[in-house]
Amino acid sequence: MSITFYTADQQLKNFNDFKGKVCLIFNSATGCGLAPQFASIQTLYERYHDQGLEVLDFPSNTFKQSLESAQEAASICQLKYNTTFTTYEKIEVNGPQTHPLFVFLKNNGKATGLYGMKAKLNQDIEWNFTKFLVNKSQTKVFRFGPQTSPQDLTSAIELFLNEKV
């Protein structure tokens, strides 16, 4: 699968480059009431990055709460939440302009967790901080709703980190 996207500082990346890593991917908005989740996601990143976890943060103004550029969003997160994971390009997560990565995630993400049970395959992203966890071979995708605390992803992260490729 050849899905490409840019970092906030315009470096081209290919989703295939992340094979062999467990990826936590989410749509973010610095103006959202759920923005404190950045700090919890950073904690997961610090805990699991050396074991193979990558965090992919995609700012989105789909819900009108991210008015700044991706570079500005990255700066806000670094200053306010001490994030060190990479912020990617600003994208749309619903509608005809949905980024191909989020089309893939929505088509393959099985809902999990207390707040994710209502989500069905192909369902639109319901709000900022909808989280997707992708295994190392990119063949399994778990979807977690916006209200799911990042700490509640630890068992799924550990499951995917311990999978043999």
* Amino acid making up residue 162: N
As annotated, the active-site residues are 32
Look up the pTM and report it: 0.92
Q: What pLDDT tens digit does each residue of the chain (165 aa) get?
A: 689 999 999 999 999 999 999 999 999 999 999 999 999 999 999 999 999 999 999 999 988 877 788 888 999 999 999 999 999 999 999 999 999 999 999 998 876 654 444 445 558 899 999 999 999 999 999 999 999 999 999 999 999 999 987
- Given a contact cutoff of 8 angstroms between Cβ atoms, the answer to whether 22 and 44 are in contact is no
The CATH class given to the 4-161 domain equals: alpha beta
Give the start-to-end residue ranges of the domains of the chain.
Answer: 4-161
Cα radius of gyration (the chain): 14
